[in-house]
A and B are shown apart, each in its own frame.
Chain A
Amino acid sequence: MEMAAASRRASALALSLLLSSMVLVLLGVCIGSTGFGNLLNDLFSAAPGSPERAMAEQIVWNIRLPRTMGAWAAGALLGLAGALAQGLFRNPLADPYLLGSATGAALAVALALALMGGAAGMVGGSAVKAVVISVVSTHWLVRFGLTGAAFFGAILGVLLTLALARGVQHTLRLLLAGVVVGVVLGAATSLVLVFSPDSLQAMQAFLLGSTSFVGWAACLLMLAILPMCAVAAWSLSRTLDGLSLGEATAASLGLPLVPLRAALIAILALATGTAVAQTGLIAFVGLAAPHLVRSVVRVTHGQLMLLASLTGGVLLSSADLLARWLIAPQELPVGVLTAVLGGSYLLWLMHRSGNTLSGRVI
């Protein structure tokens, strides 16, 4: 009985999340640099070939639509990764950036910015950099771009954590290695920035996360990776259900923990790396989305990952909308809004459910 009710609630939640996603995409097409500027009239009623129609097509099709859907996809990837990380580490504080992917990406981006600055003839001040520039031809780097650097930085960060933890057998060792890698790579990033102060502002944009420049290429890439990750994670979700009973129990159930864990970490790294590469380090979505789902409905890990993914999408696309709407035509950093939105909702939930239930929320 209770199972059936929970399952119904899960379906209802999924449906409402899907509906709000659609509403958000529609709103996303209507909100731009002039606030709520409906260009759909221009798009459908202006004469074909007229400048109004060309401009409307351009803005709706090339800018607003990919940006809105891209924000949704990035949020969905982060929500999925968050649910995965929390299940994998059996820790409600785990987030997608835990295994060094965020700091790995940040370091790679800082290095790329510093080297590109060198290519543009930046004033040096450090002999180290001059050597690096003369050794590395920066041409390939410019073409490879910040996106590529961020993606491979994220993957390398995770691999470094795995190497430090000597594999995936021990949850605690993994967590600890992740934290250590985070601190060390973070310090290295600061060091790079000290020697290339010109990259500071660009770096800040990356660290706060930004959806401003998500175009079709970025959007489609994320929309292609998302179902791959979701299906793979869903098919492995039984492992997480088993793990939630404790590692010993899971092992006694006959689950091949090591390869399954490695596979889950690969999915985690791919989902996080893809999102981070396109939008920077957007805070809080990965941490909050699974909690938001759990606060509404009791679910298995399979359901949790899909629902957290949808929640992450809704969270980030609404943050993106507000970021460009509130002080249009200026923009707020989207990462600030995800923290404010997700954080305050979570606080309200904890407050409402009172002390007895707060254990379930967090």
Chain B
Amino acid sequence: MRLQTRATPSSCGNSLSLGQIHGGTIAADFEGITFVIHINLSRLLAAAALCLALSSHAIQVVDDRGVTVTLAAVPQRIVSVLPSLTETVCALGQCQRLVGVDRNSNWPDSVKLLPQVGGGLDLNVESIVALRPDVVLMAASSRLAERLEALGLKVVVCEPKTHKDVQRVIATLGRLLNVPDAQKVWLAIDANMQAAARSLPQSVRGKRVYFEVNSGPYGAGESSFIGETLTRLGVINILPGTLGPFPKINPEFVVRANPDVIMVGARGFEGMTDRPGWSNIRAIREDGVCVFALDQSDVLVRPGPRMAEAAIIMAKCLVDKAHGAKKS
């Protein structure tokens, strides 16, 4: 994490002075070797240009609204009001630049100590402004962005909804925070997800799964990021992509689809077995329901850097339930 502090203006100053000394030494000791000096000078110029770009030159990112946001310098004070964006900032090793988060941001542990600026319906403009952020990271669909921009704050809107979006948001925030190897974060997520998929025994593949996000009932369809993870794990989602990412479905549909495994949060599981006809669903009859604790649910429902962890949780559920079904 600390590695990233190289990008701050003060360290830029250090590298600049080192370059000067180095170039000067060469020029003094080896007269006439203009070639070497030239190289060093160009390095020096490059370093200077880089530092200008980092510390004083504008940083430009195009956010998910399509708005080009220009910042005079790399932002040092960040307020994030979406848990998945908070997590992304920290995964990029820039946790120390967060100065405020929303009420639901609770990972990693260090962000729990930060000032909270409300959450969901009651984000507090005043407390955000009071934190003097260089940039505010938030989801679309909030009137807050307009208000904050009118007050002269910079706002970057990111709306991660799919795996691709998560990759893009990591890249955008990497550019914004000047983290050169941001893509490594995504590659690690991708590799861990792949590993979770490979860890599954053959018996689990092709299991039919229903993932309920809310007792409406709203389920996670194939086109949602949860659905994409399920697909990567090699199981079949009973909700086809044509229904959209999180459709509100007729409960009868689940009874007819008769899934082998149901994944649901602890709150959603309340009363699930009492729903009309549900006691006969295979997953409920044969102990195929994974009930996730709340901290696990947080991991599962946030399209952010912990998606690989989510894939591992789902994979463990699938293995456990396949094992249970074999025994019975």
* A330 lies within 8 A of B243 (CB): yes
- Which candidate, B58-66, B146-154, B161-169, B272-280, is the interface stretch facing chain A? B272-280
Indicate if A11 sits at the interface (CB-CB under 8 A): no
- Which candidate, A169-177, A196-204, A235-243, A311-319, is the interface stretch facing chain B? A196-204
| Residues of B contacting A: mostly | mixed
Indicate if B208 sits at the interface (CB-CB under 8 A): no
* B122 lies within 8 A of A194 (CB): yes
Which residue from chain A places its CB closest to the CB of B272 in the assembled complex? A213
Indicate if B266 sits at the interface (CB-CB under 8 A): yes
Bound-complex Cα distance A142 to B277 (A): 21
* B294 lies within 8 A of A329 (CB): no
Bound-complex Cα distance A194 to B116 (A): 14
Which B residues are in CB contact (< 8 Å) with A194? 120-122
Which A residues are in CB contact (< 8 Å) with B250? 32-33, 212, 324, 328-331
Per-residue contact bits, chain B 282-299, to A (CB 8 Å; 1 contact, 0 not) = 000000000001110000
* A200 lies within 8 A of B120 (CB): yes
Which B residues are in CB contact (< 8 Å) with A358? none
Indicate if B326 sits at the interface (CB-CB under 8 A): no
Indicate if A58 sits at the interface (CB-CB under 8 A): yes
Which B residues are in CB contact (< 8 Å) with A58? 255, 277, 280
B210 to chain A, nearest CB (A): 12
Bound-complex Cα distance A66 to B276 (A): 9
A95 to chain B, nearest CB (A): 25
Bound-complex Cα distance A200 to B119 (A): 13
* A63 lies within 8 A of B252 (CB): yes
Bound-complex Cα distance A200 to B294 (A): 16
- Which candidate, A121-129, A281-289, A290-298, is the interface stretch facing chain B? A121-129
Which B residues are in CB contact (< 8 Å) with A62? 276-277, 280
Bound-complex Cα distance A120 to B218 (A): 20
* A33 lies within 8 A of B106 (CB): no
* A145 lies within 8 A of B271 (CB): yes
* A212 lies within 8 A of B251 (CB): yes
Which residue from chain A places its CB closest to the CB of B214 in the assembled complex? A201
Which residue of B249, B253, B276 contacts A214 across the interface (Cβ within 8 Å)?
B276
Indicate if A167 sits at the interface (CB-CB under 8 A): no
Q: Which of A316-362 contact B (CB under 8 A)?
A: 324, 328-331, 333
Indicate if A301 sits at the interface (CB-CB under 8 A): no
Per-residue contact bits, chain A 46-74, to B (CB 8 Å; 1 contact, 0 not) = 00000000010011001110110000000
Which A residues are in CB contact (< 8 Å) with B218? 201
Bound-complex Cα distance A200 to B120 (A): 10
Per-residue contact bits, chain A 142-153, to B (CB 8 Å; 1 contact, 0 not) = 100100000000
* A198 lies within 8 A of B216 (CB): no
* A120 lies within 8 A of B276 (CB): no
Which residue of A33, A55, A197, A216 contacts B121 across the interface (Cβ within 8 Å)?
A197
Which residue from chain B places its CB closest to the CB of A212 in the assembled complex? B251
Which A residues are in CB contact (< 8 Å) with B280? 58, 62
* B249 lies within 8 A of A125 (CB): no
Indicate if B2 sits at the interface (CB-CB under 8 A): no
Indicate if B248 sits at the interface (CB-CB under 8 A): yes
Indicate if A117 sits at the interface (CB-CB under 8 A): yes
Bound-complex Cα distance A250 to B123 (A): 55
A10 to chain B, nearest CB (A): 36
Bound-complex Cα distance A148 to B10 (A): 63
A280 to chain B, nearest CB (A): 11
B116 to chain A, nearest CB (A): 7
Which residue of A63, A121, A214 contacts B293 across the interface (Cβ within 8 Å)?
A121
Which residue from chain A places its CB closest to the CB of B116 in the assembled complex? A125
Indicate if A34 sits at the interface (CB-CB under 8 A): yes
Known: A63-B276, A198-B267. A329 touches B215 (CB 8 A): no
Bound-complex Cα distance A117 to B104 (A): 14
Which A residues are in CB contact (< 8 Å) with B116? 125
Bound-complex Cα distance A214 to B250 (A): 12
Which A residues are in CB contact (< 8 Å) with B295? 121
Indicate if A116 sits at the interface (CB-CB under 8 A): yes
Which residue from chain A places its CB closest to the CB of B248 in the assembled complex? A331
9 A-B residue pairs with Cβ-Cβ distance under 8 Å, sorted by A, are A33-B253, A33-B256, A200-B120, A205-B215, A216-B276, A324-B252, A330-B248, A331-B249, A333-B248
In order of increasing CB-CB distance, the 5 nearest A-B pairs are: A215-B276, A33-B253, A329-B253, A62-B277, A33-B250
